[in-house]
Chain A
Amino acid sequence: DTAVSQTPKYLVTQMGNDKSIKCEQNLGHDTMYWYKQDSKKFLKIMFSYNNKELIINETVPNRFSPKSPDKAHLNLHINSLELGDSAVYFCASSQTPITGIGSGYTFGSGTRLTVV
């Protein structure tokens, strides 16, 4: 059983398109996150939800919109894709925002987004 699963694993799309990435966790965690990893491997937090409530909303273009229908799911929708959006997007989860620091985040396998 995959603890944190993301779909799709690879996404190649043209500039200007709209796309979504889905994430689901079966760990019973309350908190989920979206991170972006660029070509230099720098991991940057984008959003976090705790039990469906947005708790982290970093400075990202408003073309990016997260949605959490329930605490086991966190999706990322991207409008009007740009070349600079090409990156690997990781979903992660933790028991809570605080306990996750000590016990660690569980990351999904990532979605490699390529905008052409």
Chain B
Amino acid sequence: GQSLEQPSEVTAVEGAIVQINCTYQTSGFYGLSWYQQHDGGAPTFLSYNALDGLEETGRFSSFLSRSDSYGYLLLQELQMKDSASYFCAVKRSNDYKLSFGAGTTVTVRA
């Protein structure tokens, strides 16, 4: 089987930095993805890591350590519009599925 763990909620103020951790247990790990979902909206793709290291896309960065079965999403210079749920998701090499974690609700306060 497999499991994904991420915090359920994070609250921060505008301009702050938030790190959302994701630890996974799965056989045949292939890669880790991150998605953002606003209330009432569709999940949207943010980033993907297959190799160890940091991927930066504007204010958002994602990190992966395969040896630690761990990744994180870093949200910098938080804005009110970043209030949303953030999901990590893993793909195994031996099947086609993308399996999502339970999501982290980020609330940005003024």
Contacts and interface: CB of A to CB of B under 8 A. Distances in A.
Contacts of A97: 96
B102 A110 contact: no
Interface stretch (A19-27, A60-68, A73-81, A99-107): A99-107
The 4 closest A-B pairs by CB, nearest first: A104-B45, A107-B42, A97-B96, A43-B100
A41 B96 CA distance: 22
Interface of A: 40-45, 48, 50, 55-56, 58, 90, 92, 97-98, 100-110
A21 to B, nearest CB: 14
Majority DSSP secondary structure for residues of B touching A: strand
A104 B33 contact: yes
A101 B100 CA distance: 12
Nearest to B42: A107
B102 A90 contact: no
B81 interface: no
Nearest to B31: A101
Given A107-B44, A109-B42, A110-B42, A101 B102 contact: no
B45 A105 contact: yes
Contact of A43 (B30, B43, B44, B96): B43
B71 interface: no
B80 interface: no
B28 to A, nearest CB: 13
Contacts of B46: 104
Contacts of A109: 41-42
B102 to A, nearest CB: 6
A101 B42 contact: no
Given A101-B31, A107-B42, A109-B42, A45 B48 contact: no
B97 A45 contact: yes
A105 B47 CA distance: 11
B78 to A, nearest CB: 21
A55 B100 contact: no
Contacts of B102: 40-42
B90 to A, nearest CB: 9
B98 interface: yes
Interface in B14-51: 30-31, 33, 35, 37, 41-46, 48, 50
